[in-house]
């Protein structure tokens, strides 16, 4: 709770810089109701290897804005009609405003990154934005394919979802000057919890015809085989995330990072 409070305050502070902008109301709408899991991971990762400060929370805003921008565009691509129990952005504000807001948000991320004045963080954010777009393109191509494999599925969720978790944990370690070993360990944690998180999400939403996971079910002679495989993958990536924390010193922050892994456990 205390982390979400501080992250929400940091997000408010960032938006306050643009209070006179045409985009301020759409931005506030888009931020409503988010779980803030990526900025929480960034903050906890930072706290697990160093001392958090205002720069940590500014960086956490950058990863939340990156997630927000991807949702705006994903909902258009997927023709979503509901998001967090309310109208998705493009239905509320229209397609033109959605596209322009996505562009504006990328500008917000660049502005935050310039304040942090760390070329490594800027590069990691840029790479993540590109990989997330690559993942969306791959998914679009696979949706018309007759031969989707588990490897295809994992590549899409690694690019579309896990990269944002990965960059959150990685930046958290970088911004507090963690050691290279700690940075790489937390990078592995972020990537693997991100994959586990998305597998869990797909298992919960398995009836959704638009999910790539649904194509695996349709091509299977026995859907139970797919569910069993998914549960094995879920355990595998959750364990990999746990292994990533082994090189991190014990602390409340590390315990909380480990507790987040437990949220990914699910039995179909």
Average pLDDT of the residues in 230-234: 94
- Arithmetic mean of pLDDT over the chain: 91
The predicted structure's pLDDT at residue 214: 83
The predicted structure's pLDDT at residue 195: 96
Burial class (CB in 10 A: 0-12, 13-18, 19+), 1: exposed
Instruction: Tell me how many domains the chain contains.
Output: 1
Residue 82's pLDDT band (cuts 50, 70, 90): low
The predicted structure's pLDDT at residue 94: 85
Closest CA to 171 of 75, 20, 63: 63
CB 183 within 8 A of CB 173: yes
Length of the chain: 268
Q: Which residues of 140-178 are buried (b: 16+ CB within 10 A; e: fewer)?
A: eebeeeeebeeebbbbbbbbbbbbbbbbbbbbbbbbbeb
Residue 118's pLDDT band (cuts 50, 70, 90): very high
CB 176 within 8 A of CB 49: yes
Average pLDDT of the residues in 215-221: 85
Residue 144 belongs to domain with CATH number: 1.10.600.10
Q: How many CB atoms lie within 10 A of CB 245?
A: 21
The predicted structure's pLDDT at residue 72: 86
pTM: 0.93
Question: What is the domain range of residue 79?
Answer: 2-264
């Amino acid at each position: 709770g205390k982390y979400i409070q501080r992250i929400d305050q940091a997000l408010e502070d960032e938006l306050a810089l643009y209070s006179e902008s045409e985009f301020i109301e759409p931005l506030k709408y888009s931020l409503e109701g988010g779980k803030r899991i990526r900025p929480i991971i960034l903050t906890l990762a930072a706290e697990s290897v160093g001392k958090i400060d205002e720069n940590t929370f500014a960086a956490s805003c950058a990863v939340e804005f990156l997630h927000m921008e991807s949702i705006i565009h994903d909902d258009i691509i997927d023709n979503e009609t509901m998001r967090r129990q309310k109208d998705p952005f493009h239905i509320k504000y229209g397609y033109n405003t959605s596209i322009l807001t996505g562009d504006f948000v990328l500008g917000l991320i660049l502005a935050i990154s310039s304040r942090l004045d760390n070329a490594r963080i800027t590069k990691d954010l840029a790479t993540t934005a590109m990989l997330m777009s690559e993942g969306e393109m791959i998914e679009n191509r696979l949706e018309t394919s007759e031969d989707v494999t588990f490897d295809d599925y994992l590549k899409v969720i690694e690019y579309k979802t896990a990269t944002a978790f990965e960059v959150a944990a990685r930046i958290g370690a970088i911004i507090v000057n963690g050691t290279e070993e700690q940075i790489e360990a937390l990078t592995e944690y972020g990537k693997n919890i991100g994959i586990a998180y998305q597998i869990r999400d797909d298992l919960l939403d398995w009836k959704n015809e638009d999910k790539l996971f649904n194509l695996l079910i349709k091509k299977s002679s026995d859907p139970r085989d797919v569910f069993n495989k998914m549960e094995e993958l879920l355990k595998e990536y959750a364990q990999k995330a746990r292994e990533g924390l082994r090189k991190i010193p014990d602390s409340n922050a590390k315990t909380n990072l480990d507790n987040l892994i437990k949220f990914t456990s699910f039995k179909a």
